């Protein structure tokens, strides 16, 4: 096993040289998690706007369900998607197991409840404040939802970032449905898991560094968004 200092040096060199394997892995990670984020944001924001502005009976139950699903362990999500996509499963015919699409599906299931639950909260708070005004204007449901989403834009962006942070750092779900196949479904987290177990710490640490940078960037964006929102009193 390499010693730590050695591995770190190698890792930095890998990153600096733009190693093609490394870049491929990073690119796939971003592609999978950003696609999952896009789908989850569309679903989650819609759920949020719908639940926050409705008065139907099952509303409370949906909110509780969403919050409960927020904490779903990634491996369990992976397992469920695996069961559906495996050859014997109901969606086996799609032949999606061990493809990036399967990974996108798993991450979408993982973060949609997070984005849904958090955006419901955000939109509900704004709606409470605007409700009388919107009622006074006799706005349509669609116009109300649109206005709430727009006025929640800063908070909703931070919600989306939280979802992305969870997706990009997650390993349990995608390793099961993706299989960590080289050049096909290998992403940052699964590569780290594999390379570490093989004892190749340099690549693992290089990817670890990238992940830390991504996570720092996400947190910095959240802070910047919050500051901007405060400055404009849009929080």
Partner 1 sequence: MQKRFTNGKTGLIPLEVSGLSYHADDRPLLDALDVRISSADRTVIMGPNGAGKSLFLRIIHGLIAPGAGDVRWGGRAMSDDVRRRQAMVFQRPVLLRRSVAGNMDFALSLRGAIDEEKRDALIERVGLGNARDQPARTLSGGEQQRLALARALALEPEVLMLDEPTANLDPASVLMIEEIVNEAHHAGAKIIFVTHDLSQARRLGDEIIFMHRGKILEQTQGDVFFKAPQSQAARDFIEGRIVT
| Positions in the binding site for partner 1 (CB under 8 A) | 126, 129-130, 132-133, 135-139, 143, 147, 151-154, 232-234
Residue 150 Cβ, how far from partner 1 at the closest point, in Å? 8
* CB nearer partner 1, residue 84 or residue 130: 130
* CB nearer partner 1, residue 3 or residue 132: 132
Tell me how long the chain is. 235
By three-state DSSP, how is residue 87 classified?
A: coil
Q: Are 188 and 211 in contact (CB under 8 A)?
A: yes
Residue 16 Cβ, how far from partner 1 at the closest point, in Å? 43
* Alpha-carbon span 198 to 193, nearest angstrom: 9
Q: Mutual orientation of helices 74-85 and 100-137 as an angle, nearest 10°?
A: 110
- CB within 8 Å of 127: residues ≥ 6 apart: 52, 53, 134, 144, 148
Residue 155 Cβ, how far from partner 1 at the closest point, in Å? 10
* CB nearer partner 1, residue 48 or residue 172: 48
Structural tokens at position 41: 């944001």
* CB nearer partner 1, residue 215 or residue 226: 226
* CB nearer partner 1, residue 21 or residue 151: 151
* Alpha-carbon span 28 to 161, nearest angstrom: 18
Residue 190 Cβ, how far from partner 1 at the closest point, in Å? 40
Residue 235 Cβ, how far from partner 1 at the closest point, in Å? 8
Structural tokens at position 8: 């770190």
């Amino acid at each position: 096993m390499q010693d730590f200092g050695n591995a770190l040096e190698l890792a930095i060199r890998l990153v600096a040289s733009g190693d093609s394997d490394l870049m491929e892995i990073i690119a796939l990670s971003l592609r999978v998690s950003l696609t999952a984020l896009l789908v989850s944001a569309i679903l989650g924001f819609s759920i949020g706007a719908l639940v926050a502005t409705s008065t139907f009976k099952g509303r409370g139950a949906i909110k509780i369900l969403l919050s409960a699903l927020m904490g779903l362990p990634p491996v369990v999500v992976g397992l469920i998607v695996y069961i559906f996509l495996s050859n014997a499963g109901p969606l086996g015919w799609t032949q999606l197991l061990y493809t990036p699409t399967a990974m996108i599906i798993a991450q979408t299931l993982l973060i949609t409840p997070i984005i849904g639950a958090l955006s419901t909260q955000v939109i509900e708070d704004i709606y409470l404040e605007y409700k009388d005004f919107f009622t006074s204007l006799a706005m349509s449901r669609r116009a109300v939802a649109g206005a709430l989403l727009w006025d929640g834009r800063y908070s909703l962006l931070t919600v989306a970032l939280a979802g992305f942070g969870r997706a990009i750092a997650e390993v349990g779900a995608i390793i099961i449905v993706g299989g960590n196949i080289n050049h096909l479904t290998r992403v940052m987290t699964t590569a780290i898991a594999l390379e570490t177990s093989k004892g190749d710490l340099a690549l693992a640490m290089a990817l670890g560094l990238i992940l830390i940078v991504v996570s720092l960037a996400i947190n910095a964006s959240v802070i910047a968004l919050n500051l901007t929102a405060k400055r404009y009193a849009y929080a």
